[in-house]
C-alpha cells in the first residue's frame, strides 16, 4: 500500500483517542505484523451517528488464508468488513474507536489516502455489479484508474484467467459484461478486483444472489485465489464457511443494553469453531437455533 499517499480527510472524524491513550498501538501492531498477520483489526467501538453498531471485535487476518465472518443478520458482519478498506467512509456519521492496521500501517491515519487503501484492498459485493461496458473494459477499469502503463491485453487476460472466466469469454471480450449470467458476472467482478493485484480481497456474501452451481464455482475459485491473495468473506451460509474458510469469526448481537450492538463471540480455525465451539451462543447458532 502506498501509505505515503497524502490526502487527509478532515470531513471524516475517526476518534482514536481511546486507543492511543491505552497503549502504544504502533509498536504492538508491529509485533503482531511480525507474527504473520496481514491485517490487524481492533474495533473497540464503531458508531453510525449515535448508534453503537459494533463493539469489542479484534480480528487478525492471516495472509493466504480465507477468513469468514458469520453471524445473524444485523450483527455487523458487513460493517466490520467495510471497515477493513475504509468503505464505511462513505457513510455519514461513521466513527471508529480502535485501529485497523494493514501490513503494520494504520489505514485510518490522517495522512493515508482512502483511495490508495481501497486499491490495495479490493471488494466484491453481494449483487454482481459489472459496469455497463464491455467485459474487457470492466476488467481494465481499475487499471486505467491507476494509470497502469503496462500491457493491458496481458493483464486483462491474466485477471480473467485468475477469475476462472477466460475460457468462457475469450471470444467475446468486447460484448457487454451485463449480458453474462449471474455467476459469470460475479466472476467478472472478481476479475475486475484482482486485475489491480490487490493484497487483500474482501467479499460480502458474494454468492447469495447465485444458484448452487455458480456458488460452488465461486467457492472453488476462492480456494484457487488464496494461493496468491488473502480473502475475507462475509457469508450467512455455514456450509460455505466450512467448505472454504481457514478461520471463522462468529459475531452476535447484544440486546442487553436495549440496543442492537454486534460483537465478536469467538474467532478460531474453522474446523475447531464448528467441531468444538467454546461458547454456548456459538453452539446454538451452528445448531441452527436462530438465524
Ligand X SMILES: Nc1ncnc2c1ncn2[C@@H]1O[C@H](COP(=O)(O)OP(=O)(O)O)[C@@H](O)[C@H]1O
Q: Site residues (CB under 5 A) for Mg ion? A: 78
Three-state SS at 224: helix
Q: Quick one: residue 98, left, alpha or beta (phi over 0 = left, psi -120 to 50 = alpha)?
A: left
Asked whether position 130 contacts ligand X by CB under 6 A, the answer is no
- Can you tell me which of 75, 87, 124, 191 binds ligand X, judged by CB under 6 A? 75
What is the contact mask toward ligand X in residues 251 to 290, using x (rule: CB under 6 A)?
---------x-x----------------------------
- 288 class by beta-carbon count within 10 Å (0-12 exposed, 13-18 middle, 19+ buried): exposed
Residues 124 and 126: their CA atoms lie apart, in Å, by: 7
Q: Which is nearer to ligand X, 32 or 260 (CB)?
A: 260
Residues listed for the chain: 291
Range list of H helices, the chain? 17-22, 25-34, 77-83, 114-120, 135-145, 152-162, 166-169, 182-195, 212-225, 238-244, 270-275, 280-286
For residue 126, the minimal CB distance to ligand X (Å) is 10
- Can you tell me which of 26, 28, 48, 209 binds ligand X, judged by CB under 6 A? 48
- Can you tell me which of 1, 38, 53, 163 binds ligand X, judged by CB under 6 A? 53
Q: Which is nearer to ligand X, 91 or 223 (CB)?
A: 91
CB–CB of 124/202 below 8 Å?
yes
Asked whether position 77 contacts ligand X by CB under 6 A, the answer is yes
The candidate with the shortest Cα–Cα distance to 40, out of 94, 95, 108, is 108
Q: Using CB distances below 5 to 8 A depending on partner kind, what does residue 145 bind out of ligand X, Mg ion, none?
A: none
Asked whether position 206 contacts ligand X by CB under 6 A, the answer is no
For residue 276, the minimal CB distance to ligand X (Å) is 24
Q: Which is nearer to ligand X, 21 or 73 (CB)?
A: 73
Q: Which range, of 2-10, 74-82, 153-161, 242-250, touches ligand X by CB under 6 A? A: 74-82
| R_g over Cα of the chain | 19
Q: Which range, of 29-37, 67-75, 120-128, 193-201, touches ligand X by CB under 6 A? A: 67-75
For residue 90, the minimal CB distance to ligand X (Å) is 9
Three-state SS at 63: coil
Q: Which residues contact 68 (CB under 8 A, 6 or more apart)?
A: 232, 233, 234, 235, 240, 241, 244, 245, 247, 248, 249, 270
- Can you tell me which of 50, 73, 256, 291 binds ligand X, judged by CB under 6 A? 73
Q: Using CB under 6 A, list all residues that contact ligand X.
A: 48, 51, 53, 71, 73-79, 91, 260, 262
Amino acid at each position: 500500500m502506498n501509505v505515503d499517499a497524502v490526502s487527509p480527510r478532515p470531513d471524516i472524524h475517526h476518534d482514536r483517542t481511546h486507543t492511543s491513550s491505552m497503549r502504544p498501538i504502533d509498536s504492538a501492531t508491529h509485533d503482531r505484523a511480525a507474527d504473520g498477520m496481514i491485517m490487524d483489526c481492533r474495533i473497540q467501538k464503531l458508531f453510525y451517528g449515535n448508534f453503537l453498531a459494533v463493539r469489542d471485535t479484534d480480528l487478525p487476518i492471516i495472509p493466504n488464508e480465507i477468513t469468514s465472518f458469520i453471524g445473524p443478520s444485523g450483527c455487523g458482519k458487513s460493517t466490520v468488513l467495510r471497515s477493513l478498506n475504509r468503505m464505511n467512509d462513505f457513510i455519514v456519521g461513521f466513527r471508529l474507536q480502535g485501529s485497523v492496521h494493514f501490513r503494520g500501517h494504520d489505514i485510518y491515519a490522517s495522512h493515508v489516502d482512502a483511495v490508495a487503501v481501497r486499491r490495495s484492498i479490493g471488494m466484491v459485493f453481494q449483487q454482481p455489479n459489472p459496469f455497463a461496458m464491455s467485459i474487457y473494459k470492466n476488467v481494465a477499469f481499475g487499471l486505467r484508474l491507476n494509470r497502469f502503463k503496462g500491457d493491458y491485453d496481458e493483464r486483462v487476460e491474466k485477471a480473467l484467467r485468475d477469475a476462472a472466466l477466460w475460457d468462457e469469454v475469450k471470444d467475446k471480450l468486447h460484448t457487454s459484461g451485463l449480458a453474462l449470467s449471474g455467476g459469470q458476472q460475479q466472476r467478472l467482478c472478481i476479475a475486475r478486483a484482482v486485475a489491480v493485484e490487490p493484497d487483500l480481497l474482501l467479499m460480502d456474501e458474494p454468492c447469495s444472489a447465485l444458484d448452487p452451481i455458480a456458488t460452488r464455482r465461486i467457492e472453488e475459485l476462492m480456494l484457487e485465489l488464496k494461493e496468491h491473495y488473502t480473502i475475507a468473506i462475509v457469508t450467512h451460509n455455514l456450509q460455505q464457511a466450512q467448505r472454504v474458510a481457514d478461520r471463522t469469526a462468529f459475531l452476535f448481537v447484544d440486546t442487553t443494553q436495549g440496543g442492537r450492538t454486534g460483537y465478536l463471540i469467538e474467532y478460531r480455525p474453522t474446523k475447531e469453531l464448528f467441531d468444538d465451539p467454546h461458547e454456548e451462543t456459538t453452539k446454538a447458532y451452528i445448531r441452527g437455533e436462530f438465524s
